[in-house]
Amino acid sequence: MPDPLRTYAATAVIGDEHVTPPPGLLSDSLRTRLRRLRTDADLQEWTAAANEWAWYADARYRACVELRPATAPIRIGVKDTVAVAGFPTRLGLRRHRHYPHRTAAALDHLGDDPGLPAQVTAKVVTTEVNIGVGSGCGNPYFPHIDPAGSSTGSGVAVAAGICDLSLATDVLGSTRWPAGRCGVVGLRATHDPATLNGIFPLTSTMDAVGWMARTPDDLALLWPLLGLPPAPPRYRLRIGVVQEVLDDDVEPEILAALHRSADALAEAGHQVGPARIGPAWLYRAAAWEMCSREAWDGYQTWRTWIGDDLTDSTRLALESGRTVSDGRFAEIRAAQHRSRIEAAAQFADHQIDAWLLPLDPDLPRPADAPPPDKTIPTADQSSYDRDIGYTPIASFLGLPAITLPVARTTTDAPLAMQLVGPRHTEATLLRLAHDLAARTADLGLVPR
């Protein structure tokens, strides 16, 4: 008599640890795929192969909370805190779901370019209400590295070849961390409340739309779908290497990657020199305080909407906002207002187009490392000065930032750099990322 469990496993393709290579057109650049689909490749055959791969990859890496068959050449994933009409939104919770009637404003431009036929095929994993610990996702390129969050599923889905573009959100690094840990490109857009309609808010003063793609070239090709300003004419750009990083306690391999990245941008013809960002460096801790207080204030409203239990890490992160007094919160708000004016003046006065700095001072956390108790660092932690990291700089100032992989460590962990620019200079940052990627050795990134 056949073993029912073995029969089921064979039918469900369970238990095969061998990683099947993705179909050829998924391994190619997006530009090559679209060209071939216009000339010699069959769309139906391609979508059939792409769907088989996506189902296989999602079973392996657990990037999606809902995955639908693709019928278009460009597949888009959307973080599960963002409204898409026809898809439930779960906010990263176990039981909650609601069904929005309207799609978020960030997706308004999907049909603008007939040469870029795109379709939302997946809602992707997020941590609980953007602030919890852990996602259950695997890291396709670096299985031994935690894929980070909160937009975990966006990074994993892109790296796994499940999606070509993923819409994420970024408060203090929620797009840039998963992108950096998963070896893909992550763009935080300029803070603009008008773009956040249909996105579950965590902190209204720092929330921003985020996008992820495999490479700068893929992101450049998809630019008309993002609703962002077009690229300016090409000219020599001026990049400031953030000197406060050199004074900080940074892992040697990260510093070496920073210097190589600066050299690569200089080789691309850009002017590269030192820059100090002044008070913005000191406001990194304040950004975490602001996030925790605004998240706590928001929780007082949305807790009545959601009949679901929160994990301890989510609850602790939210409750940390109670310790930020009204007086301290007002101080931080005033400092944020001043710092945004100061940052604009710094870029203009020093004629700098972008700051270059690492994603973080520390190497990526191993997947098997004990998770932190909560996502919000507090001053009583011994590692506080390192835990506040470098991503809050762009967040507190409301600026765009892009991150991309530039190296692998001796222990095979990804190292990422970020570029931060003045408001609404996303296209300039993408150009710099493209120039840096073109002068970075092939990192051999394939799902495994």
* Residue 294 confidence (pLDDT) above 90: yes
* Residue 224 confidence (pLDDT) above 60: yes
Confidence grade of residue 379 (pLDDT, cut at 50, 70, 90): confident
- Per residue in 274-290, pLDDT (tens digit) is 999 999 999 999 999 99
**What pLDDT was estimated at residue 17?**
61
Confidence grade of residue 383 (pLDDT, cut at 50, 70, 90): confident
Angle, in degrees to the nearest 10, between helices 252-267 and 426-438: 100
- In the chain, the percentage of residues whose pLDDT exceeds 90 is 87
**What pLDDT was estimated at residue 385?**
85
Domains of the chain and CATH, by start: 23-438 (3.90.1300.10)
* pTM assigned to the model: 0.96
pLDDT, mean over the chain: 95
* Residue 297 confidence (pLDDT) above 70: yes
Would strands 64-67 and 118-124 be described as parallel, antiparallel, or unpaired?
antiparallel
Confidence grade of residue 118 (pLDDT, cut at 50, 70, 90): very high
The stretch 417-434 carries a mean pLDDT of 98
The stretch 349-367 carries a mean pLDDT of 97
Confidence grade of residue 435 (pLDDT, cut at 50, 70, 90): very high
* Residue 16 confidence (pLDDT) above 60: no
* Residue 322 confidence (pLDDT) above 60: yes
* Residue 1 confidence (pLDDT) above 90: no
- In the chain, the percentage of residues whose pLDDT exceeds 70 is 97
* Residue 402 confidence (pLDDT) above 80: yes
- Per residue in 138-189, pLDDT (tens digit) is 999 999 999 999 999 999 999 999 999 999 999 999 999 999 999 999 999 9
The stretch 324-338 carries a mean pLDDT of 98
**What pLDDT was estimated at residue 381?**
83
**What pLDDT was estimated at residue 134?**
83
* Residue 14 confidence (pLDDT) above 70: no
